[in-house]
Structure formats: structure tokens, C-alpha cells
Amino acid sequence: MHPHQQPAARRIAIRHGLALVFAYAMALASPAVSAASAVQDQLAIAANVANFARRDQGDWAGLRNLFGADGQIAVTWYRGSIDGFIAASQKMAEDAGTQSKHWIGTPRIRLCGERAVSETDVAIMARSQVASVEVDVTSYASFLDTFARDSDGQWRVVQRTAIYEKDRIDPVAPSLLFSLIYPFAGFDDYPPAYRHLAAGLERKGFQLAEPIIVAHSPAEAELKAGAAQWAGC
């Protein structure tokens, strides 16, 4: 090699060496970066799920922001767009005799690129009346949610479906009358998974929004399979 060509060759070798070192460092760093990004995505989705409690607080704008533009929701008394759900919830909130609160557990999240599936245990607590007896109804259920990352980078709900497991009813105060009227209150007209919740809703004039998904049913299995297929993982 001509002496004048040696410095140039040395510079090329150094550049190639640095490129290899950089590529190796990036390869080592990628799993860590990917893992950190996944944690951030899971935290964002978990925060979204927890903020469904904004409904109980009457924060309708905050509730709307949790769902995508075409977001859908299905519960015992409503099935359709999130905008229709909010309008119906506002009307429900105007009834002083309707009190409800949601306990929301920790979601189990499966990330699938720009989509995700989440399952969360929930309890719906509602105060109502049977005849003249004040009662508390507790419904145990779960939310099956599909999520997509929106154009602004935020994770939002595409579809939320409540899956009902069981419920119970208790008089707020000890009541001999309640034990006497319970067998005649018509609870047996409804499926066991949500009979007390459904009876209370219909007493207040709300129609049930069929189909209502029940845990351990073929409909639940089909719903979960469809969510996984949509998410792609």
C-alpha cells in the first residue's frame, strides 16, 4: 500500500470499528428499551381502566377521553357507543334514588404492538329498594377491553364488555321484613349471574341490553377469542 493511503485506510477501519461497536451496543440496549416501553404502555392502559371511576364522579369529559372516537361499551343496561352511554349515565345520575359505585381491580394486559387486550375484575355497588326496604346490591364482574394507540399516542378503549359472574343483595339495616318478601320479589326471573342487579334496574325503568355476557359461557369464550384475533396476538 502506498504510504499516503495508509492514514485513509486507517480512518476507514476506525469508522467501521465504531459502527460495529455502536450496532452491538444498540443490540444490547434494545431489549431494555423495549421492556421499558412495554412497562410504560401497561401503566398507561392500567391508568385508563382505573379512570372509569370518573363515571361515578360525574366527570363526563374525562370519561369520554378514555375511549376512542368510535368507542363502544356493553353492560347490563346499555349496549352501544360511548357517547350514548355517557348521555344515558347523565340521565341516570339525575335520579337521586340511583346510587352506584365501581370498585376496579388491577388489569391483566396483553400488549400486541399498537393494540392490546385487558381483563379487569370489577365490583358494581348499587343502593336500591325492595318494597320499603333499603338494600345494597353488589355485582361481581370483569371488564374485557380492547385498546388501540390513538393518533396522539394515547391508549384508548375500542370496545369494553362487562362479563357478569355473580351478585348478592343485603338489607342496609337488619330487616325481618326483607327475609319475608325476598321469595316474592321476582329475582328468580333473571339469570343467577346478575339477577339482583337486573331486578333493581328494571324496577327503575331500565331495559336490559341483550345479549348480556355471563362468565364461563360459550358467549364469553367467543368474545375473548374475537378480542385476541382483533389484537393479533
Predicted confidence at residue 98, as pLDDT, reads 67
193 vs 213: CA distance, rounded Å: 9
Q: In a structure prediction context, what are the per-residue pLDDT tens digits for the chain, which is 233 residues long?
A: 554 555 555 555 555 544 444 444 444 444 554 888 999 999 999 999 999 999 999 999 999 999 999 999 999 999 999 999 999 999 999 876 667 899 999 999 999 999 999 999 999 999 999 999 999 999 999 999 999 999 999 999 999 999 999 999 999 999 999 999 999 999 999 999 999 999 999 999 999 999 999 999 999 999 999 999 999 98
Contact by Cβ (8 Å): 81, 71? yes
pLDDT digits (tens, 9 = 90+) for 34-55: 888 999 999 999 999 999 999 9
Predicted confidence at residue 10, as pLDDT, reads 59
CA Rg value for the chain: 26
Contact by Cβ (8 Å): 121, 114? no
Predicted confidence at residue 27, as pLDDT, reads 44
Domains of the chain from N-terminus onward: 3-231 (3.10.450.50)
DSSP 144-191: EEEEEE-TTS-EEEEEEEEEEEEEEEEESS--HHHHHHGGGS-GGGS-
Predicted confidence at residue 31, as pLDDT, reads 53
* CA proximity to 156, closest of 226, 207, 78, 82: 82
Q: Measure Cα distances from 199 to 10, 24, 213, 231, 232 in Å.
A: 84, 64, 17, 35, 38
Q: Give me the residue label for grid cell 351478585.
A: 167
51 vs 226: CA distance, rounded Å: 25
Tell me, rounded to whole angstroms, the distance of Cα 2 from its chain centroid. 71
DSSP 42-86: HHHHHHHHHGGGGGTTT-HHHHHTTEEEEEEEEETTEEEEHHHHH
Predicted confidence at residue 80, as pLDDT, reads 98
Residue 103 gets which letter from DSSP? E
Maximum alpha-carbon separation in the chain:
108
